[in-house]
Amino acid sequence: MIRINLLPFRAARKKENVRRQVSVFLLSFALIIIAVVYYNIWLGNRIDKLKVRNKDTAAEIAKYQKINKEIAEIKKALSNLEQKIKVIETLEGGRKDAVNLLESMTELIVKERMWFTSLNVQGGTIAIHGIAMDERTIADFMRNLEGNGTGPYANVTLKSIEQEQIKGKNLNLKSFSVTMTKAAPKKTTKPDNAGKTKKS
């Protein structure tokens, strides 16, 4: 009977398997290393691009912030200008009202029998302080102001009346104080033509 020793063959085969496994492991490890290096390179490039983009974005934000600041300053300047214009318009309107008031009073005053010492306008109320020859002059002046309900002023009220003595002259004058408001403008009504009929 012939006997064959297979131990050397098995050992050689085992060594070959080990060598093959080591080669596969080394190859896999090398591929992993290559993949990691490539990923790091790609990631680094990506990070660099993001940094550049962030820098550009920050520059754009700073630019727009500067523009917004300039716009805010322009809006503030416009607001201040509008306020100044309103003040000027108010003063202009007040000056016109004062001129109109003085012209109106010149027409309503009882000439050569009274004169004003002060005239104040606060809100919608007009206060007049003056001197008159007598009480009848004051009454006539108040009637002129109201005009029997059709005059330019309403709520005419005599606040005070006192005796006024002129030094060195034998004159007994009357010091008075009157308040009033501007009368509401009268509404004009159109004539009613409903009752008119056509003639045939």
C-alpha–C-alpha distance, residues 158 and 140, integer Å: 12
b/e map 63-73, b = 16+ CB within 10 Å: eeeeeeeeeee
Domain boundaries along the sequence of the chain: 11-108, 112-182
C-alpha–C-alpha distance, residues 52 and 58, integer Å: 10
Return the pLDDT at 127: 92
List Cβ neighbours of 48 (8 Å cut-off, separation of 6 or more).
none
Q: Amino acid identity, residue 154?
A: A
CATH of 112-182, one of 2.60.120, 3.30.70, 3.90.1530, 3.30.1360: 3.30.1360
Strands laid side by side in the 125-132 sheet = 114-122, 125-132, 172-182, 153-165
Return the pLDDT at 108: 85
> Which DSSP string corresponds to the chain?
------HHHHHHHHHHHHHHHHHHHHHHHHHHHHHHHHHHHHHHHHHHHHHHHHHHHHHHHHHHHHHHHHHHHHHHHHHHHHHHHHHHHHHHHHHHHHHHHHHHHHHHS-TTTEEEEEEEEETTEEEEEEEESSHHHHHHHHHHHHTTTTSSEEEEEEEEEEEEEPTTS--EEEEEEEEEEEPPPPPP-PPP-TT-----
Q: Which two tokens stand for residue 185?
A: 């403008």
CB contact at 8 A, 113 and 173: no
Return the pLDDT at 188: 54
Per-residue pLDDT of the chain (200 residues; tens, 9 = 90+): 555 555 566 677 777 788 888 888 888 889 999 999 999 999 889 998 999 989 889 888 988 998 999 999 999 988 988 888 888 877 676 677 777 778 888 888 888 899 999 888 887 888 999 999 999 999 999 988 887 666 678 888 999 999 887 766 667 899 999 999 887 665 555 555 544 544 44
Return the pLDDT at 34: 92
Q: Which two tokens stand for residue 124?
A: 């919608």
Residue with tokens 């006192």: 162
Closest CA relative to residue 59, chosen from 70, 51, 69: 51
C-alpha–C-alpha distance, residues 95 and 127, integer Å: 17
Return the pLDDT at 163: 86
